[in-house]
Structure 1
Amino acid sequence: MSVRKIALAALVAGIGLAGLVPGASAAQSYSVKTTLDGRTVKDPTVPVGSQRVADKYPAGSQVSLVCQDTGPSYGGSTVWDLTSDGYWIPGAYVETGGVAQPRCVLPKSFPAKADLNGRVHKGDAATAPGAVADKYLAGAPVPVVCQATAGGTIWDYTTDALWVPDQYVANAYVPGIPRCDTDGESPSNTGEHGRNTGPAGPTTGTSAEKIARVIAAAKSMVGKGYDYAWGGGGKGGPSYGIHHYPDNDPSQGDDYNRFGFDCSGLTLYAFWKGAGVDLGYWTGEQYNAGTRVPVSQMKAGDLIFWGDGDDSESTTHVALYLGGNQLLESAPPRDGKSVHIRSLYGQSSWMNHVIRVFP
């Protein structure tokens, strides 16, 4: 089952959750404390993509709220606000002045304007495979859970896990009904995010020469003002990170707006630029990118990993050993000095081996 289908199924299953204040009222506008993403589900961990729009509501902007509901705790509160755009945002980061909003009530029912077939996918033809003929007869209630766009038109998702064209139901996006997905939206930050690409460095030379070039490539990123950015950096050098709040706290800012590297993005760049070697995009891949060598035999150019034993799936951090008890890494704090050289540390949390790419 796709992530989108799982999310829609969860949405249907969650109908009827206890809210806050019953009733309905007109949407009211409030100030946003910090830049917030818009979500189609009340889930702090859902990634940016089909269920989450990055930076939908900038800090200090006004957001129009329709209703509230409860959900997973975020920012110290279980309150979630539904905006007039149809996206959920965590209530802890909206300046409502303590004013409670009406409770969100789903599904919302509308009389069918004609006999409608239920479709398996939005945008499907009435007779597409899996369609249910005459599922909603003219005048019968159509219980709508969420709404989405397909082919430039609005579609409604029902409690029966079927889609119907909205032109025969509400004929508009309805305040108080969340979006099913983010189709038709795009992040406000249009810079390059996540792993990027770039030309490979030379593959010639001895192991010692390759190691020297790798270390030089890594050192060239020190002192450039780069931040630690989750998912940032790659074969092409620094980039903006992917969506991530440090410690799951929006008040600490979003790595989506930070420019630099995460730990494995930096090592990926150094080995690609210095020697044309693709280590892989994350620490687990990189732990399997060379020969495992006992820590006691570590030498310059080896990769140090933090994690559990030799389980590559447990890796949490990687750094490049420079020799002389020094390492180079990208690591918090996010202060423009995240790419730095420092003395060895945290040996008790290292993996059992270091990784040697060049024998």
Structure 2
Amino acid sequence: MNLLSTTRRRLATAAATAALVGVSVAGALAAQAAGATGVVNTKGTPGPALTVRQQPTAASAAIGSPADGARVTITCQTYGQSVTGTYGTSTVWDRLKSGGYVSDAYVRTGSDGLVAPLCAGTTTPEQGTPSAKVKAVIAAAKSMTGKYPYSWGGGNAYGPTKGICCSPSGIDDRNTVGFDCSGLMEYAFYQGAKVRVSSTSRSQYADGPRVPISRLRAGDMVFWSDSTRSASRIHHVALYIGDGTIVEADRVSGPDIRVRAFSTSETGVMPYAVRPVS
């Protein structure tokens, strides 16, 4: 490992992505606060009208039918019956300003995630069984627990490495072999799924693909910023492994690479998780 080039790569990637991500996250949060719009897209040229249902299920009474290509206003989103449509299979349903629900699988919103607030009373769907790749990523991360110390700038896709100088608090880890938080993510995703992720927590968040934290499931990366939850201030990342727990590398008392309990209400947790594999 070339420590100098790794240092420059980490710093350059973080600087290049911070401003862009800050703008995009702010825009996404503003859009969610105000609701969103979408365009009906059914299969065909033109496709048939899209049926609006009284409840988020295809068995519910039909109460409307916007034409293919019609723009609709989405006041909130919820989870309901799984539907396969133009944009794949989705359990997300859009509550329209005009009343009723349509499957998000037939609405172009510009995002694969939620674009409007969750409707009142929405229950997040069960996570389901993780895929074989996700299980392998989790196993790779857990295999490092208790074995190495935290090392600022340490770790990559192939394993633990010496760190760099110096951490924000001035600690020199050039002679410490181990992982920092993002280095552990690089290792877990490459060893478990042969997926390359970037080398800093900020660039990992920027690269995505992002999903709302409300849809968190095993195998997702979760991120921490300061209390403002600004993407430009992200300082930590961990792997969510299900059942309210994460694997992380952190400079703490006790094992630096550890499994611990996690809550999305922790201070600074970012509004989106990143899902490199599904």
| TM-score normalised according to structure 1 size | 0.39
Question: Which has the higher relative contact order, 1 or 2, with Cα contacts under 8 A spaced 6 or more apart?
Answer: 2
The structure carrying a bigger helix percent of its residues is 2
